[in-house]
A and B are shown apart, each in its own frame.
Chain A
Amino acid sequence: MSENVEKSNESVRPEAGLLPPVNVVEDANGITLYADLPGVPKDKLGLQVEADTLTIEGEVSFMMPEGMESLHAEVSLPRYRRVFTLSKELDTEQVAAEFSNGVLKLRIPKAAHAQPRRIEIRVD
């Protein structure tokens, strides 16, 4: 799995977004990705796997009193977006996602044929 910096010559340029920090862990059976998406309610989270591209998108939506003037903003855009390229041995049909308290956990298992296999050595 590698990060995909989108080409700028695409005809439809995605809207500007912040890059959420992620952790990616790989074990023998698959990959687990954790992403920080604070301020995104469950219904504003978008996950998409298309061919070998994984797109994580979220819209920030939190309670703001009317007429609030921003004095200082580190989360300066109301959107997160990050794209990864998945490798062939990952089974994109079996992606499982959990989302709570602004943290996304994605589990992408390796396809059965890509699972580690111990090769027995026969001694004649």
Chain B
Amino acid sequence: MYYRTFFPRDILAEMERLQRDLQQSYDPSIRGGLRGGFPAMNVGSTPQSVEIYAFAPGVDPATLDVQIEKGVLTVAGERTLPALPEKATLHIDERFAGRFRRVVTLPDDIEPNSASAKYRDGVLHISIARKETAVPRRISIQ
């Protein structure tokens, strides 16, 4: 629960999310919870590709490392925050600092060599194409 909502519009969806979060704390995934790490991640799918968005603002792109190995995508990097000036007080400290690593299991039908990654406005967007054969094809009836 990294980016909380303040004004839940849809109370049912909010309750569902709460239930899911509770469930996850009882049955965590093998690599810890799905939610709540840095960077926050969104995953989407189209018939041709798998799209992964890692929300990693203020990260030097040179420290980013993206790897696909055995169907698992790893996003790693480091975020350094400006040092606290002398005699300064840190009133609110919510932003993540340090090294990070997040892992996403990919579907079986992806083409790992076709992956591309872009970093823009603090979002790392990774796009991985699906194998040709997996794209659904309409068969015309003669």
Contact = CB atoms under 8 A, between A and B. Distances in A.
Contacts of A51: none
Interface of A is mostly: loop
Given A36-B57, A67-B47, A62 B120 contact: yes
Interface string A17-56: 1111111111110000010111111000000000000000
B4 A19 contact: yes
B35 A74 contact: yes
A35 to B, nearest CB: 8
Nearest to A69: B45
B89 A39 contact: no
Interface in B63-107: 81-82, 84-85, 87-96
Nearest to A105: B82
Interface residues of A, number: 49
Nearest to A21: B94
A38 B51 contact: no
A102 B122 CA distance: 4
A20 B3 contact: yes
Nearest to A31: B91
A68 B85 contact: no
17 contacts: A6-B6, A13-B7, A16-B7, A17-B5, A17-B7, A20-B3, A21-B96, A23-B95, A24-B91, A27-B87, A28-B87, A34-B82, A38-B39, A62-B125, A65-B46, A74-B3, A102-B58
Given A72-B42, A74-B3, 6 more contacts: A18-B6, A21-B96, A62-B120, A74-B2, A101-B58, A101-B121
Interface of B: 2-9, 34-36, 39-49, 51, 53, 55-59, 81-82, 84-85, 87-96, 118-123, 125, 127
